[in-house]
Structure 1
């Protein structure tokens, strides 16, 4: 079973959605957890709503520091920060395989409720596509 850690800065949106998607789509082949370098301390409610709307059980995620996993070994670490927005991604040291998936932060979306929901859906679909490709 592959152990995957998903990292971002706040651990409230993107990494939470990626964790749930990996666990769902991995069908027992992977165990995924997520964390942040500067966790917000809360999971964005639209992250959970987006997962539920697309039939993905988010479980009981929480926004937590990557310090919680400092003494654990992972087969893969995935960062999901947005390089296009000059967001500083956490750097996971060690010999672990690493991937970076530049992903916009839907928590920063503005506009109508429909615009914001669309931003969360876009991120969901980006992550789902990347995870499906990785697991294929």
Structure 2
């Protein structure tokens, strides 16, 4: 006899083939609607309709592009997906809750990370990209080669970027200076990740065909409020970047040197 209990919301949303394709693409990078249209090979009105359903379901968010205000970047909330998957498992059987599932080796963190190079890019290389660089290096005990650069580097790191890393993560990046990405033009990287919509549009090619990813993160320097409001903006930005770095770690650890 079939159960009268309806499927959890996540299952109903993710089960649709096109929505699953959209979730899969957004799991790797933030994208604009027209880019998703190209990736999934479906009409824009259909893609926009299913993106709206994913947004209404709380799995996907959209932020206005800082490069072109007429565009929006769509972002998959992986933490929300993880919670939804756990709830779906618990709805199927109580032993499928997070507390009853034995942790895999990968979730414990590899003892030896593969030899991987990751480059983070933004415009000024004074806030977002150095925060990402520091968090990835810290999370992998320096075994992953994390670097950052900018298209128009500022003279110095933003004081709030230094402060938020020190106070929230116990990481000290004092003494580091922003660099231009032209200084790394001959370097090979496995991943090139832009954190700024403007930098994404101008990102140069790097040798070795690295995997390109984009994290559309608003510039915390652009708040223009009080000192407290400015620092709170940096805390939100650092938390966002930390979440994205955390979800990048299993991808990086799966690579073989």
CA RMSD of aligned residues (A): 1.4
Flag the 1:59–1:19 CA change in 2: closer, same or farther, 3 A. farther
| 1:88 shift after superposition | 4.9
Q: Going by fraction, where is helix more abundant, 1 or 2?
A: 2
The structure showing larger relative contact order (alpha-carbon pairs under 8 Å, at least 6 residues apart) is: 1
Return the index of the structure with the highest Cα Rg: 2
Partner-residue secondary structure (3-state), 2:234: helix
| 1:93 shift after superposition | 1.4
Residue in structure 2 matched with residue 69 of structure 1 by the alignment? 184
Q: What is the alpha-carbon distance in structure 2 between the residues aligned to residue 2 and residue 59 of structure 1?
A: 25
Structure 1 residues 1-136: aligned runs within 5 Å: 1-54=115-168, 55-58=170-173, 60-81=175-196, 83=197, 87-89=198-200, 90-94=202-206, 95-136=209-250
Q: TM-score, length-normalised on structure 1? A: 0.90
Give the length in aligned residue pairs.
132
Q: Going by fraction, where is strand more abundant, 1 or 2?
A: 1
Q: What is the alpha-carbon distance in structure 1 between the residues aligned to residue 174 and residue 118 of structure 2?
A: 16
Q: TM-score, length-normalised on structure 2? A: 0.49
8 Å contact from structure 2 (residues 195, 214) kept in 1: yes
Long gaps (5+) in structure 1: none
Which aligned runs of 4 or more in structure 1 are off by greater than 3 angstroms? Answer: none
